[in-house]
A and B are shown apart, each in its own frame.
Chain A
Amino acid sequence: MSMQATPPPLAGLGSEADQGRGGGGSQRSAPRPLPPTPSRNGRGTLLGSIPWTLIVFLAAATVPWIGSRYNTFLAEQIAIDALFAVSLNLLLGTTGLVSFGHVAYFGVGAYICGILMKTYSLPFIIAFPAAGLGTAAFALVSGYFCVRLIKLYFAMLTLAFSQIVWAIAYKWDAVTGGDQGLPEIPYPNLDWMSSIPGLGDLRTSDQFYLFSLAIIAVSLAVLHRIVRSPFGRVLTTIRDNPERAAFIGVNVRAYQLAAFVIAGTFAGFAGALYGIFSRGVFADYVFWAKSAEVIIMTILGGMEFFWGPPVGAAALVWLNQQITDVTQYWPFVLGTILLVLLFVFPGGIVGGLYTMWIRLRGLRRA
């Protein structure tokens, strides 16, 4: 039927080879000027046969040994932001839902984990899953209402929910510590790590870095599976054409809600790790400007690609560190980066590289 004639809406189902060759011309004329999610990008070529993600994670795991304490700090920040941004991208890039309040779920996760570990002295093994469950429940309730709205109204309602979370965090002194926040959240008990040869002489903060890196790696692997699964394909179809998705029998709202809950839960995990990492949870974490920041990370990396947001997170954390060394006007720089992104490189870093690679390959063939 019309599948052949109009590839974009179901492009996610097409094979990679078609997209690579035929996509070059049609991409520019399409209303969404970005390439469709390339799933098995470059597999079969020499570059594609290298397990890049594994190498990156192994390299990241060596930071405590080869880098300074500050490097480990930055690496952990990047890793947590990467998970946060990938969770957002499940909505933004995969499902096409513009959430302007994703930080709410990050914050709820951070607060649940922090309150359980600090106020109730519960172990991490209970507090962390509880944070995920609590965030999922909150995402289910708020998402139920959000997915009923379209476009800008969806963005506004997610913003409203995140500001509700912020107002509660900021004012409910007895539980959240109000504007003082919850300082001194304990590290989880990582004594078992010391018995592993080679890890015993590391600082607790370094051990926690390795521990959270492992959690983040597993989370990203799960999210990757989700995006590549048939379920993920349906989400992409919804993004490209909700009417058509509904027409072929997809319950659009249910799928959107499922994506919302999954995205919220993983944001909650990221928040829980962040609270422990930064030794406290504060109301600032939930302020709406943070939602904008994580959106910028996602776009900077490239929201059409699974590994775009982590690249964006790394670039943004690194840039922030470089620039705040020189000037206090980081927001100005961030705003300028955003302008360049919007007007010159809407595909982000990975999108730009991908287009360049396609062009180079085309040149070599010609």
Chain B
Amino acid sequence: MGGFTTAMFLFLIASGLSLVFGVMRVINFAHGSFYMLGAYLAWQGVTWLQPLFGSFWIAALFAACVVALLGAVVERLFFRSLYGRDELYQLLFTYALVLILGDAAKFIWGVGQLSVSVPPELSGSIEIFGSVQPLYNLLIMAIGPAIAFLGWLVLNRTALGRMVRAAQMDREMLDALGANVGTVYTGMFVFSAFLAGLSGALVTPIQSIVPGMDVLIIVQAFIVVVIGGMGSIWGTFWGSVIYGQVLSFGILIFPSFSLFSVFALMAVILIVRPWGLFGRPLT
């Protein structure tokens, strides 16, 4: 069960990473920084709103929206001019953001640990299958699959999703057909930043907020996305589940090699099926 909560958290984070890769063919290292900012901003929101009822949820939404706005600024001002360039420059640009945002967070919120308490309406726990589960964790476990389903629905059953899938397959063609590819790209980037910010905010009642959480999470999110297949929502969902299980079984069986096992899994999948278990090969 513990593995599953971890998995659903990872899914929330990794789905945004996967979407951006799928559409723009860009690995966004700064995704972890967006997640970290979401956590810090949620803490800030909760601190400001303390006495209000439901303040945690308002703070979480606030955090996600601010991060989404930041995503829009980053995409419009900088990222846009890098689309035609070598992928090395795109990687390095997102890495520059990691460095800058990481230090900005340290500058604003300090280097100490911050924590947010579980919202009072979900502070209880119930017994399921003989194990006691905090209500909050159950909510996360429900949100994960819900977002996966919603994402699938939007991508596969709406006009917007059709546009996104078209951009994924052939950018030039979509452009030539008169669709505004630039807007699709901005939208994807903003939505992905929103997801990162939201997951950062939602993780705060379970994990303390510390500098360096950005770099830690991004590597895990990469592994998930690589396992499942970059650009595939269900792939990312199952990738997170597999990752969570490998990690928790790894800890049970060889405690000191659980880290090794997830990276080895990532390498094996890249070697055997670079496009991931559920993805499709790039043309």
| Partner-B contacts on A (CB < 8 A) | 31-32, 92, 98, 100, 145, 148-153, 155-157, 159-161, 163-164, 166-168, 170-173, 288-289, 292, 295-296, 299, 329, 331-332, 334-336, 338-339, 342-343, 346
Contacts and interface: CB of A to CB of B under 8 A. Distances in A.
Interface stretch (B50-58, B62-70, B90-98): B90-98
B92 A295 contact: yes
Given A155-B91, A160-B263, A346-B89, A334 B271 contact: no
B198 interface: no
B27 A156 contact: yes
A164 B96 contact: no
Contacts of A159: 222
A346 B93 CA distance: 12
B160 interface: no
B267 A161 contact: yes
Interface residues of B, number: 40
A149 B87 CA distance: 14
A164 B267 contact: yes
A153 B92 contact: no
Contacts of B84: 31
Contacts of B102: 331
29 contacts: A98-B91, A149-B274, A151-B87, A152-B25, A152-B87, A153-B270, A153-B274, A156-B222, A157-B271, A157-B274, A160-B266, A164-B264, A164-B267, A166-B263, A167-B257, A172-B256, A289-B215, A295-B88, A296-B92, A331-B103, A332-B99, A332-B107, A335-B95, A335-B97, A338-B92, A338-B95, A338-B96, A342-B89, A342-B92
Interface string B239-267: 00000000000000000110110011011
Contact of A171 (B89, B91, B256): B256
B181 to A, nearest CB: 19
B142 interface: no
Q: Top 6 A-B pairs ranked by shortest CB distance?
A: A335-B99, A332-B103, A335-B100, A338-B96, A167-B259, A160-B267
B222 to A, nearest CB: 7
B260 A173 contact: no
Majority SS of interface residues in chain B? helix
A335 B179 CA distance: 35
B267 A157 contact: yes
B166 to A, nearest CB: 21
Contacts of B264: 164
Contacts of A335: 95-100, 103
A348 to B, nearest CB: 12
Given A171-B257, A335-B98, A338-B92, A163 B263 contact: yes
B100 A332 contact: yes
Nearest to A291: B95
Given A157-B267, A167-B260, A339-B78, 7 more contacts: A156-B266, A160-B270, A292-B92, A332-B103, A335-B98, A336-B96, A343-B78
A155 B87 contact: yes
Interface in B86-126: 86-89, 91-93, 95-100, 102-104, 106-107
Q: Which of B88, B100, B260, B263 has the most CB of A within 10 A?
A: B88
Chain A at the B interface: SS class: helix
A260 B200 CA distance: 38
Nearest to A99: B88
A153 B225 CA distance: 12
B81 interface: yes
A288 B222 CA distance: 13
Interface string B262-282: 011011001100100000001
B39 interface: no
A281 to B, nearest CB: 18
A168 B260 contact: yes
B1 interface: no
Contacts of A339: 78, 93, 96, 100
A101 B267 CA distance: 12
B97, B104, B263 pick with most chain A CB within 10 angstroms: B263
B226 interface: yes
B81 A171 contact: no
B282 to A, nearest CB: 8
B89 to A, nearest CB: 6
A150 B92 CA distance: 18
Contacts of A166: 263
- Most chain A beta-carbon contacts within 10 A, residue among B96, B106, B263: B96
B138 interface: no
B219 interface: yes
Contacts of A342: 82, 89, 92-93, 96
Nearest to B255: A171
A172 B86 CA distance: 37
A119 B182 CA distance: 58
Contact of B99 (A288, A338, A343): A338
Contacts of A299: 88, 92
A156 B107 contact: no
Contacts of B104: 332
Contacts of B266: 156, 160, 163
B91 A100 contact: yes
